[in-house]
């Protein structure tokens, strides 16, 4: 019973004086309508509703990718995906934050993994509840400095994931245990 569980969590949060500042949706394949798609969508919508019940201002939801589609088609499919979620977000008063991906090298796959294209997708979706979550570790795997990436995203950055790595893979190290330039990150913020 999701509502009973949310109520129990809310009561525990209140007892402990804890406030959650963000939530993360389930992982799935947002633009690939396979046998898992409906369950993934329902799980993501449940996450948005739970965020509202727990007074969490936003939910991080990854964009989708698929093999052998163009950037334009990827944007169209992602907009369709986010538009459905944003309908629920509007009902709940919850933001949707799109996270920048880590660099991935897969042949024939368009993957939104950098600040300019994340900003382009957010502008393409063009919804007041759609913004960015900047994952600093994922950004560390890019060629663009953190401060430059954050300037491009500007006020769309409403959530952060702070994790480190050696810029070679998404290893999720503790801060200052990798090569992330925290001066650049702070300058950008």
SS3 168: coil
Query: Within 13 Å and on the Cβ side, how many CA atoms surround 84?
Result: 16
Res. 113 pLDDT band, cuts 50 70 90:
confident
HSE at residue 144, side-chain half, CA atoms within 13 A, is 20
The CA distance from 69 to 29, in Å, is 14
| Res. 112: pLDDT tops 90 | no
Q: What is the mean pLDDT of the chain?
A: 94
Confidence category of residue 87, pLDDT binned at 50, 70, 90? very high
């Amino acid at each position: 019973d999701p509502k009973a569980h949310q109520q129990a969590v809310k009561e525990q949060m209140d007892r402990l004086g804890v406030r959650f500042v963000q939530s993360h949706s389930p992982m799935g394949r947002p633009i690939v309508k396979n046998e898992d798609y409906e369950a993934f969508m329902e799980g993501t919508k449940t996450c948005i509703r739970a965020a509202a019940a727990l007074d969490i201002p936003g939910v991080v939801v990854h964009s989708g990718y698929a093999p052998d589609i163009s950037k334009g088609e990827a944007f169209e499919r992602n907009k369709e995906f986010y538009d459905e979620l944003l309908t629920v977000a509007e009902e709940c008063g919850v933001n949707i934050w799109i996270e920048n991906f880590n660099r991935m090298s897969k042949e024939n796959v368009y993957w939104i993994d950098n600040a300019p294209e994340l900003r382009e997708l957010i502008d393409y979706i063009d919804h007041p509840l759609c913004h960015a979550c900047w994952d600093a570790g994922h950004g560390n795997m890019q060629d663009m400095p953190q401060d430059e990436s954050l300037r491009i995203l500007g006020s769309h950055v409403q959530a952060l994931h702070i994790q480190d790595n050696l810029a070679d893979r998404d290893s999720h190290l503790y801060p200052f245990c990798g090569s992330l330039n925290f001066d650049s990150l702070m300058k950008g913020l």
